[in-house]
Amino acid sequence: MPHRILTVDDSRTIRMIVKNAFKEYECELYEAENGRDGLALASEIKPDLVILDITMPVMTGIEMLGKMMENADLKSTAVIMLTAESGRDNVMNIVKMGVKDYIVKPFKGEQLIERVKLILNDLKPRIDLSTNNGQRANGTLFSVKGDIVILTLPPKMTRNIASDIEEQVKAKIGHMNEAGVRKFILNLSSVDHLSMTTMQSVLALLALCVRAKLLIRLAATGIQAEALKSFKETNAIPTKLSIEEAITDFFPRAC
């Protein structure tokens, strides 16, 4: 289940920095512009982490934190305090409040993520992110079904496209490893014909997946499935005639 993260800050700029920082991670983001609204929202959603500004109108961050400490459902919630002052006395006061960490404004999204990962150490990147490179060949190449990553090859493969896709797969495998995802489907059914360039690319992609110890399935047309039997690398991998069949094959039937 994705982590719930609540940002409470009267600055729209700060809230946007936080939002952009987490866009590549599996989490649900909520925000409020003052302590009163933040406390009400926290009581409703029970966040895993609150990123809380000290100085706000209506109810300050310190006042909101005090209310959270009095609430049995919220008192153990992790809090990162945002402050504009870095002086020793201010830092000591923040530490005494019982918060997990603090960040001095201004800060960058990368700095925030580093701090958050120390608290939410199982924060996972999104595995369905598409990079700009991922749009080059023929729309979005990657899709995700639950915990299964699907790569659909474009109708025509050139050496440049094949090289580009291999780089994307390397990056995607890194994301999958971080997210603890191992199921991978290589979908060939959109490919016009299995040319030498296409097969070289397929074998290279499968080699990357094997080295990463992924669970692999192939989706192909009937003609493609027959052709794949002549290669020892693909003959050993389960090949199905649709993506749906390939997905189902990951889950053994109950006896």
- Domains defined along the chain, listed by start: 3-119 (3.40.50.2300), 133-249 (3.30.750.24)
pLDDT in tens, 189-216: 999 888 888 899 999 999 999 999 999 9
**Higher pLDDT pick, 181 / 146:** 181
Reading the block at residue 94, the tokens are 């923040």
Reading the block at residue 231, the tokens are 């290669």
CB 220 within 8 A of CB 228: yes
pLDDT-derived band of residue 217, with 50, 70 and 90 as boundaries? very high
Cβ-Cβ contacts under 8 Å for 186 (sequence gap 6 or more)? 151, 153, 202, 205, 206, 209, 216, 217, 218, 219
pLDDT exceeds 50 at position 73: yes
Q: How far apart are CA 241 and CA 205, in angstroms?
A: 19
pLDDT-derived band of residue 91, with 50, 70 and 90 as boundaries? low
pLDDT exceeds 50 at position 131: no
Please state the pTM of the whole predicted model.
0.53
pLDDT in tens, 137-163: 334 688 877 778 899 999 888 888 888
CA 58 remoteness from chain centre: 35
Q: Cα(first)–Cα(last) distance of the chain, in Å?
A: 29
CB 102 within 8 A of CB 81: yes
Q: Tell me what the pLDDT averaged over the chain comes to.
A: 85
CA 127 remoteness from chain centre: 5
DSSP per position, 110-179: HHHHHHHHHHSTT--B-TT---SGGGTTTS--EEEETTEEEEE--SS--HHHHHHHHHHHHHHHHHHHHH
